[in-house]
Amino acid sequence: MKREKVNYSIQSVSHALDILESFTRTEDELGVTELSKRLGLHKNNVFRLLATLEYRGYIEQNPATENYRLGVKTLQIGSIFIEQRECRRQARPILENLMAACGETTVVAVLRGNKIIYMDGVETDKTVRAVSHIGALLPAHCTAVGKVQLAQLSTAEIERLYPDQTLSTLTDRSIKRRDTLMVELKSVADQGYSLENEECEADVRGISVAVKDYSKNVIAAIGITAPVSRLTDERLEKGGIINLLRDSGQALSSKLGFIAVAART
């Protein structure tokens, strides 16, 4: 018989979550004594849990009252949850329209560290097609949707994500060195879109643009993936693929609250 998941719970983790859930809209600050009474835990245990949560940014102490309150990390996680759900919901019709217009698989992905996660995709009904890999976690530097998001980061941030010069690869055409990646990311930033040439999967090519939200920050990327034989340079330029993708990226950004500032003349 399958055991209930509660049987696998870790008590200290449960207690830490109990502390986080103790804070409400009406009680945004609590002290060690109050938490100890509410949770039925010894003060020393509560203090140690608070210290750990504070170290990780989930709890902070008010210097004036010496009470504790939720830290900025909880806001960041909540924002990510809302951002991902809203981005995926708003992206779906745009992905469908883009697929209908270009006849190729369309995807939306988010950057997490030096990896990307495919949140959603709409596959073409053509017999030979690229797969959307929904839910897959892949090296960002091997994908168009990853590189266009990496291109928005500073040199210091890239070096933090990739501390070694040698990079992991998925195919023989994957970027192998950090300095090579930096050069390509500069090009991506200048042209406003990124290309993937069999770097993630053999015989598959991709193109992607960044998606911004109301904060003007890049939060995702929308892209097109297809067999190399169909996603040619000529089709990208003369076939209007780049323009279609840019329009779709702007449409999704607008749905997420991004307002472009018109250039001064």
**What pLDDT score does 7 carry?**
67
What pLDDT band is residue 1 in, cutting at 50, 70 and 90?
very low
pLDDT for residue 32 is more than 90:
yes
Q: Where does 77-255 sit in CATH, by number? A: 3.30.450.40
Domain extent listing, the chain: 5-70, 77-255
Instruction: For residues 51 and 72, give the distance between their C-alpha atoms in angstroms, rounded to a whole number.
Output: 15
CB 179 within 8 A of CB 155: no
**What pLDDT score does 26 carry?**
79
pLDDT for residue 99 is more than 90:
yes
78 burial (CB, 10 Å; 0-12 / 13-18 / 19+) is: exposed
Top-confidence residue, 166 or 5: 166
Residues 186-232 have pLDDT tens digits of: 999 999 999 999 999 999 999 999 999 888 999 999 999 999 999 99
Q: What angle do CA 17, 19, 22 make, to 5 degrees?
A: 110
* CA separation, residue 177 to residues 168, 183, 187 (Å): 9, 10, 16
C-alpha 241 chain-centroid distance: 24
What pLDDT band is residue 164 in, cutting at 50, 70 and 90?
very high
Q: Give 108's strand partners.
A: 120, 222
Tokens for 36?
A: 């100890």
Nearest residue to 218 via CA among 150, 161, 159, 162: 150
Kindly state the greatest CA–CA separation across the chain. 72
Residues 44-82 have pLDDT tens digits of: 999 999 999 999 999 999 999 999 999 988 877 776 766
**What pLDDT score does 8 carry?**
67
Instruction: For residues 20 and 70, give the distance between their C-alpha atoms in angstroms, rounded to a whole number.
Output: 7
Q: Assign domain 5-70 one CATH number from 1.10.3720.10, 1.10.10.10, 2.130.10.10, 3.90.1150.10.
A: 1.10.10.10
Percent of the chain with pLDDT over 90: 69
pLDDT for residue 107 is more than 70:
yes
**What pLDDT score does 183 carry?**
97
Q: Give 118's strand partners.
A: 109
Nearest residue to 97 via CA among 89, 88, 106: 106
**What pLDDT score does 198 carry?**
96
DSSP one-letter string for 95-158: HHHHHHHH-SEEEEEEEETTEEEEEEEE---SSS-----TT-EEEGGGSHHHHHHHTTS-HHHH
What pLDDT band is residue 239 in, cutting at 50, 70 and 90?
confident
